[in-house]
Amino acid sequence: MIALLLVALGGGVGAAARFVLDGEIRARTTGGFPWGTFTVNVLGSLVIGVVAGVILAAGAGAQALDPWRLALATGLCGGFTTFSTATVETVRLAQSGRVRLAIANALGTLVVTVGAVAASLALTTAVL
C-alpha cells in the first residue's frame, strides 16, 4: 500500500509539473514544434538517469532506496514525461503536412531523451 501511495504522490507532482512547464513553454514558443513536450521528456530522462545512477552506485544497499525509486522514477518521472503526447503530436504534425517537423520530433525525441539518460547515468555513476 505504501508503494502505491509513493507512486501516486510522485505521479501527481510530476503531472502537475508537466502541466505547468509545458504550458509556460507553449506560451513562449512559436513555429509548430512541440517544445513543451520535448522539454519535459528530456528533463524527465535526465532525472531518471540520475535516479538509476544513484541506485546502481548503492550496489547491495539499493533495496533501501526502493521507496525513492518508486516515488521519483516510477511516480515523478512517469507523471512528468509523456511518450503518448509526443507520439500524438508527431502524428498531428504529419497529418497537417509538416512532415519535416514530425520527423524531427520523432527522431529528436528518441535521440535526445536516450542521450539524456545515458549522459546523466554516466555522470552520476562517475561522481558516486
The dihedral over CA atoms of 16, 78, 106, 96, expressed in degrees to the nearest 10, equals -40
The annotated binding site for Na(+) is made up of: 78, 81
Q: How far is CA 121 from the centre of its chain?
A: 14
- CA 14 to mean position of chain CA atoms: 9
Q: How many CB atoms lie within 10 A of CB 78?
A: 18
Q: 81 with 45: CB under 8 angstroms?
A: yes
Binding positions: 78, 81
CA distance 26 to 37: 9
